Structure 1
Amino acid sequence: MHLSALYRFPLKSAIGEALSVSPVDSLGLHGDRRWLVVDASNGRFLTQRLLPQMTQLLARYAADDALTLSAPGLGEIQVAVPAADAELRGVTVWSDSLRVPDAGDEAAAWLSQLLGRACRLVYLPVERARQVNAGSGATQDRVAFADGFPLLLIGQASLEDLSTRVGRPLEMLRFRPNLVVDGSAAYAEDGWKRIRIGGLDFRVAKGCSRCIMTTLDPRSGERSADREPLTTLKTYRERDGEVYFGQNLICDGRGVLEVGMPLELLE
């Protein structure tokens, strides 16, 4: 078994980027989901669930973790990491409420034009990170703007099995993982508790429950008329009213991940 792909999502719900190598810090892959778009009126986080046009929003890191945003018809904008004395904005991610630096009016205006609603762009300094989902990690485990955990892993064989069941090839980025593993049996990751990739150890926290976002084509933003792959997943991956695909991870330590590294099952 080995690590076959790495994906980072600098801005939550924007286009992901494939990496060949990445540092891993206390919040997962360096720079993953450190930026977030929120509703300007109430600070509620905005994603493709509500705004499928975010599938066309490209976010890439520039120097010093600054962000470059681009979208069809709008060109490109550079956004600096907010200064230490930047205005703090109250935001909500699921049940978590926190205060984080606002990235300024220019970025807000650009995103509001793209998304057709008043919104703001915010950044998460490491010292303001959230605790992982209650009951699924230690008190010191932290996450940036990802839904609940710092890392998501999916087995390549699991995607291939699902594609066969659906009857057409499915893109891995439809499920927005950070780590893809090859060489394991389909859904083998369901039974893992601890793994090692390269020199880093990971705890498998819990399965990842899936939502309507999986029905969006990651390239076009169009929703599947047949609600696939969610329809098929519900036939064999549903438990307690939730549909699961992939596993959430927490890393114990810091280091570097590189595509091709072997995966060792510890427990």
Structure 2
Amino acid sequence: MLTLSELYRYPVKSTANEPLQSIRLDALGLEGDRRWMVVEAANGRFLTQRLLPQMGRIEARWEDGFGALRLSAPGMDDLVVEVPGRDDNLRGVIIWRDMLQVPDAGDAAAQWLSTFLARPVRLVQMPEQRARQVDTAYAQPGEHVHFADGFPLLLIGQGSLDDLSAKVGRPLEMLRFRPNLVVAGAEPFAEDGWKRIRIGDVIFKVAKPCSRCILTTIDPRTGERDPGREPLATLLQYRNVDGEALFGQNLLPEGVGELRVGMPVEVLE
């Protein structure tokens, strides 16, 4: 039997995970997931752990029913940031090929993050009304994504991680791969063959495999890079398609609803 074994969201893109027992899905994916992003102060270009591994030591948690965000990090006092109005203090930002106008979260958040990251940055927020269109090669017009790289949700099978860990020769943390949904009970890489699945009352379309990058080589607990470029090096040996290491599947939800750890997962196609 396939079950939803783990649930995670990332309130600020590329910061620490938030483990969940239950969560609602809204129009952009998991409620509150990747609705904030850190950008270069000078040009609005997005920043991630690829460049700044220390971002993984920042913890972000929603407060006041999604009205505010609390930021925590080693050596820093906590900071509570209110959600800006959707048309307030708009800032031009760049995430991959997308150029957006989104609300800036203010000087206090910018100073806090700039101090911790030791470079001038700003914090921006994604209102639902300003969300990005998902690549229409895989999605219908009107299907949107927040500040994730390309898709609202990422699923990984526990069996796939176990298989990779065995090949690398040590247990690997699931959070190196930053999934939203983890499914237990399937054979390694069974998710490669899924087209549509149901969890609870929600149906998901399996859009495309996830191409992995250097971020997987960063220890989620310490922020240190693996000197042997593992597990990316091993993935490239046996999960290499056209020079890309594939691990996990990007999902598009076909509705809204609630997800809970322990729910059965049904493969429809």
- The one-character-per-residue Cα deviations of 1:198-247 (angstroms, maximum 9, x if unpaired) are 11100000000000000000000000011000000000101012111000
Match 2:173 to one of 171, 174, 199: 171
Deviation at 1:134, TM superposition (A): 3.2
Distance 2:29 2:150 in 1: 12
Deviation at 1:85, TM superposition (A): 4.5
2:90 partner amino acid: L
1:179 partner amino acid: L
Match 1:183 to one of 175, 182, 185: 185
Within a 5 Å distance, the mapping from 1:84-123 to structure 2 comes to 84-123=86-125
Give the conservation status (yes or no) of the 8 Å contact 2:90–2:101.
yes
SS of 1:153's partner is: strand
Distance 1:170 1:45 in 2: 27
The answer for the alignment partner of 1:10 in structure 2 is 11
Instruction: Give the TM-score normalised by the residue count of structure 1.
Output: 0.99
The answer for the alignment partner of 1:47 in structure 2 is 48
Give the conservation status (yes or no) of the 8 Å contact 2:202–2:256.
yes
SS of 1:64's partner is: coil
2:191 partner amino acid: E
1:136 partner amino acid: Y
Whether 1:232 and 2:237 are equivalent positions in the alignment is no
* Alignment coverage as a number of residue pairs: 267
Distance 1:105 1:149 in 2: 30
Distance 2:162 2:94 in 1: 35
Listed as ranges, the gaps of 5+ residues in structure 2 are: none
Instruction: Give the TM-score normalised by the residue count of structure 2.
Output: 0.98
Deviation at 1:104, TM superposition (A): 0.2
Distance 2:98 2:55 in 1: 22
Distance 1:176 1:249 in 2: 14
2:188 partner amino acid: A
SS of 1:247's partner is: strand
Listed as ranges, the gaps of 5+ residues in structure 1 are: none
Give the conservation status (yes or no) of the 8 Å contact 2:236–2:243.
no
Match 2:151 to one of 134, 149, 152: 149
Whether 1:222 and 2:186 are equivalent positions in the alignment is no
2:39 partner amino acid: V
Give the conservation status (yes or no) of the 8 Å contact 2:86–2:127.
no
1:46 partner amino acid: L
Runs ≥4 residues deviating over 3 A: none
Deviation at 1:133, TM superposition (A): 2.1
Deviation at 1:185, TM superposition (A): 0.5
The answer for the alignment partner of 2:76 in structure 1 is 74
Whether 1:58 and 2:59 are equivalent positions in the alignment is yes
1:61 partner amino acid: W
Distance 1:55 1:264 in 2: 33
The answer for the alignment partner of 2:33 in structure 1 is 32
Distance 2:84 2:110 in 1: 13
- The one-character-per-residue Cα deviations of 1:48-81 (angstroms, maximum 9, x if unpaired) are 0000110111111111321100110112000000
- The one-character-per-residue Cα deviations of 1:112-142 (angstroms, maximum 9, x if unpaired) are 0011111000000000000112301111110
Identity of aligned residues (%): 62
Flag the 1:27–1:9 CA change in 2: closer, same or farther, 3 A.
same
- The one-character-per-residue Cα deviations of 1:159-215 (angstroms, maximum 9, x if unpaired) are 000000000000001100000000110000001000001111000000000000000
Distance 1:2 1:211 in 2: 27
SS of 1:232's partner is: helix
Flag the 1:248–1:84 CA change in 2: closer, same or farther, 3 A.
closer
Within a 5 Å distance, the mapping from 1:243-262 to structure 2 comes to 243-262=245-264
SS of 2:78's partner is: strand
